[in-house]
Amino acid sequence: MKMKISLRLGLAFVAMLLLVIVTAVVGIMSLNRLGESMDTMATQARQSAALGSIHAGVQKVESSLLAACEDPSEAARSNVRLLLATVNGEITDFEHPMRPEGVSMAQFLASDPEATESCSGHCHQSESLLNLEAKWVAFTDATEEYMEQTKVQVVHLPTARAFMGPVTEAVLLATDNLAQEQLVSLAAEKAEASEVEASTRRLMLAAAIVAAVVGALLAITITRSLTVPLSRLVSVS
């Protein structure tokens, strides 16, 4: 009888231990996935904000360029160059979010031999991002061309506005398309995070119910294994 009770107690302990381990492992995996989703959502939120800043910066460059066409001074051209460099840096930061702030791409790649490989796995994968790059290059070339013209002659403002308008709109449209993709991706990530959270709660609830049921069954079984033989011994006595 002692061996039988000991065996049942051992099996009960092993069953409860396995239940706790499985629940803990699955719970930790779910929490890790939830943490990754939160990090991804935070990154996407920052990128959405960056796209808004790029959108506004492109419009500022166009306005400053048109103002430089009317006032072709070195100060006006310097302001355009400054705004152009600012937007270019913001686009670079958006394309390479793994690069630490304030570190140039050359420094970033030199400091980490694996940076090129890791960046190639992230950068330039979206068709919308490639489209933004192409439109931005066209916008930059057109801006630089007009900047050179203002050094030697007064640029006809309506002509510059008519030419720069479609170029600017192309960049803004590419930015808006990329921002829309970011919003869709963010919504999908939020939905996945909500599903992971809900599944984790269901898992914990199911584990608690199973543990309670198994514990109750084991308690009844062990109790009966003790009381039934004792009752028989009492009857025989």
Helices and strands of the chain, counted as H and E runs: 6, 0
Point out the least confidently predicted range of 29-33, 62-66, 230-234: 230-234
Is residue 81 over pLDDT 70?
yes
Q: Which of the pair, 104 or 36, is modelled with greater confidence? A: 36
Structure tokens at 215: 């514990």
Measured distance CA(41)–CA(206) in Å, rounded: 29
Residues 6 or more apart whose CB falls under 8 angstroms from that of 167 comprise 135, 138, 139, 142
Residue 153: DSSP 8-state: S
- Cα–Cα–Cα angle for 42, 44, 50, rounded to 5 degrees: 105
Phi, psi of 104 (to 5 degrees): -70, 160
Q: What is the pLDDT of residues 17-33, one digit of tens each?
A: 777 787 777 777 777 77
User: What is the model's pTM?
Assistant: 0.65
- Cα–Cα–Cα angle for 171, 174, 180, rounded to 5 degrees: 140
Phi, psi of 103 (to 5 degrees): -110, 130
Measured distance CA(84)–CA(171) in Å, rounded: 13
- Give residue 121's pLDDT: 46
